[in-house]
Structure 1
Amino acid sequence: MTQEIKIALDVMGGDHGPSTVLEGADLSCKRYPEIRYILHGEPDQVLPELNKFENLQSKSDFKPCDVSIAMTDKPSQALRRGRWRSSMWNALEDVKETRAAVMVSAGNTGALMAMSKFCLRMMPGVERPALAAVWPHLYGESIVLDVGANIGADSDQLVDYALMGSAMSRSLFSHDEPTVALLNIGSEEMKGLEEIREAGRKLKKNNLSSLRYVGFVEGNDLGQGIADVIVTEGFTGNIALKSAEGTARQFRQNLYHEMSRTLVLKIGSFFVKSAFQKLQTKMDPRKMNGGVFLGLNGIVIKSHGGTDSEGIASAIDVGRNMAANQLQKKIAYDLDQAKFDVIEPQKAI
């Protein structure tokens, strides 16, 4: 029998309100019957919608909150106004107190990061968390991090990201020794910022046992499947992520426009319809929704605020998989093991 997994869900997060979040939760628990929810939200908005989902209702406990964190709130405002009162904070508290294995929110990213760090704290040896995303490529998926948790990173932080991304790759895709690359402006070792070059030297020199470092990759390599884990800092990673999502939408819109331009093209599109559907599924951002905040003392999943119920379900699925595959234990082990793998500099005699 599959072990029960409890997920604390911020029902008030997202652009489309509780109905979309609850519909996504219902989809996910139908895919994974072992999921149980602790739902957090304002009663007058959540309970009428929850009554529409009989199966979800039977697998959920509801906890009311006093306030919700707005998408426009600054992190400092959210901390002052929402601590111990908001759906976001209360869901994080469930993870902190081990009432839930995972917290999922489609709410304000900055507020979620600030609250997560304040409530859950960082894992020993980790200075900054990273937001990791699943990225489709020609042969499957890879992990890309950081995609927006922090602006800038030094070489030690990039090495931490490599270790945490490797643990996530092993948890999500069962890779025994994930390949890791650093995102750079060129593949040559003399190119790029000093922090990136230094991180590359450290990863190459220390030969960490939990991963296999394969060097630098460029932006046009992200979809080629060159590495299981691609590491960058949050500013660059966020731009790359949103550029890729925008390009996928543009490609899909242009394709549909061109294939419906003439009768001949419409007839031709009928015969390749199944191929187009498979391509759309593979490049559907909703299927890859659910960024993981790595480095915290608990699993926190950030969903896109503007996604639909299928996207919410995908984010919850990611959280379920991370808990089922013991992500936190793998990260802690890799960080601890890295201390023994590091090659100490030779002391002068």
Structure 2
Amino acid sequence: MTDTPRIAIDAMGGDVGASVMSEGAARALAIDPRLKFLMIGDEAAIASCLAAHPALKAATEILHAPEVIAGTDKPSQAIRRAKTTSMGLAIDAVKQGNAVAALSAGNTGALMAMSKLALRTLPGIDRPALAALLPTLGDNDLVMLDLGANTECDANNLVEFAVMGAVYARIVMGLERPRVRLLNIGEEELKGTDEVKAAAAMLRSAPELPLSFDGNIEADRIGRGEADVIVSDGFTGNVALKSVEGTARFITDLLRRAFTSSFRSKAGFLLSRPAFHMLKTHLDPNNHNGAVFLGLNGIVVKSHGGADAGGVANAIAVAAKLARASLTGRIAEDLARFHAAHPMPAAAK
């Protein structure tokens, strides 16, 4: 993979659009000067934003797109407009080999549908999954998937997610054998749905995979640092993610209210400001921005719609790192190794 990755950016997606995407790209370029960009959207708006960033302008090509995918657009509507929208053309740039990754802060469902249709899934992958990094109390972040791409999954899907999540963890966190666990209603082997129990049995019998399967984990242990990869179906994973994010906002809002409730509390806040700042930074989703659709024939990164420039820069860094590490090739290799050791019955193929 090239050491000067070119990232295709849907400049019009998200809550703010070209201004924050350009500012984020400029920050990413300042950190990694080898980056190149293809910014897609309203040409005049993008050019205006690039004027404030000479270095970014020199590293960027603009591709005009007359339309934008709205947050209210259904995936079926988005697919029909793929060839005229900034999101669709960003994905197409990856398909055509004009970029190593696509980044969008737009409609998640539309991005997933268009990506799957245009790029297709890797050999051995039934369904792609949405994976993201979450903060923990441990030394590393946590990779969690699926976070909403698939509401229902069978045991084979969950095993594929485990393999893909482990590859992601090895690349992003530099782990040799990531600890993988299945999200469940209990740690006991007998707990959970038939699909989860079957997936656990398959992972236990796969020593050829470069991961350590550590069984089940309950939702209240997600952030404890007891796993490097947590796997679930998309419905459960999305509910868990929103619960974690909501709890984080609840805690910070509650602390803010408590520290302003009285003069004594305000004085206490001044003494504890460094600790409060550390907590806020650790829980800030911008510092972990950049979810990835794993399992596609190409890299597609989803930024938070409300991400600031720092969050966009983090998402770009994720895209570049995965491209340089040949994410798709490494997923294909691990899955081929697993399927060679565990061939599916002819009736199940």
TM-score interval, normalised by the smaller of the two chains: over 0.9
CA distance in 2, matches of 1:150, 1:64: 32
2:292 equivalent to 1:320: no
Q: What is the TM-score of this pair, normalised by structure 1?
A: 0.94
Give deviations 1:163-220, integer Å, cap 9, x for gaps. Answer: 0000000010111111110000111111111111111111112334211110000000
Deviation at 1:337? 1.3
Q: Deviations over 1:259-299 (max 9, x none)?
A: 22222222222222222212211111111111100000011
- The residue aligned with 2:85 is 86
The residue number in structure 2 matching 1:167 is: 167
Q: Is the 8 A contact 2:46 2:62 kept in 1?
A: no
Q: For residues 249 and 142 of structure 1, what CA distance do their matches in structure 2 show?
A: 19
The match for 2:148 is: 148
1:17-73 CA distances to partner (integer Å, 9 max, x unpaired)?
211211111121112111110000012332222222222212101010121111111
Q: What secondary structure, in the 3-state scheme, does the structure 2 residue paired with 1:27 have? A: helix
CA contact (8 A) 1:207 1:213 kept: no
SS state of the match for residue 276, structure 2? helix
The residue identity in structure 1 corresponding to 2:60 is: S
Of the structure 1 ranges 43-52 and 84-93, higher mean CA displacement relative to structure 2 is found in 43-52
1:4 to 2:4 alignment:
yes
**For 1:55 and 1:206, how far apart are their aligned partners in 2?**
48
Q: Secondary structure at the match of 1:28?
A: helix
Provide the secondary structure at the position in 1 that maps to 2:133: strand
Aligned residue for 1:225?
225
How big is each residue's C-alpha offset from its partner over 1:104-161, in whole Å with a ceiling of 9 and x where there is no partner? Answer: 0001111111110111111001010000010111012110000011111000000000
Alignment of 1:101-250 (within 5 A): 101-139=100-138, 140-250=140-250
Unaligned runs of 5+ residues in structure 2 are none
- How far the C-alpha of 1:344 sits from its partner, in A, is 8.0
Q: Is the 8 A contact 1:9 1:103 kept in 2?
A: yes
**Matched residue, 1:264:** 264
Calculate percent identity across the aligned residue pairs.
43
Q: Output aligned runs, 1:39-50, within 5 Å.
A: 39-50=39-50
Taking the aligned partners of 2:17 and 2:342, their CA distance within structure 1 comes to 48
The structural deviation recorded for 1:343 is 7.8
What amino acid does structure 2 have at the position aligned with 1:128?
Answer: R
Aligned to 2:279: 279
Task: Letter of the 1:214 partner, please give it.
Answer: D
| Number of corresponding residues | 343
Q: 1:219 to 1:189 in 2, by over 3 A?
A: same
Contact 2:122 2:328 in 1 (8 A): no
Amino acid at match of 1:339: H
Match of 1:311 in 2: 311
Deviation above 4 Å: which 4+ runs of structure 1? none
Kept in 1: contact 2:6–2:38 (CA 8 A): yes
Unaligned runs of 5+ in 1: none
Q: Deviation per CA, 1:56-91, whole angstroms, max 9, x where unpaired? A: 2121010101211111111111111x2222111211
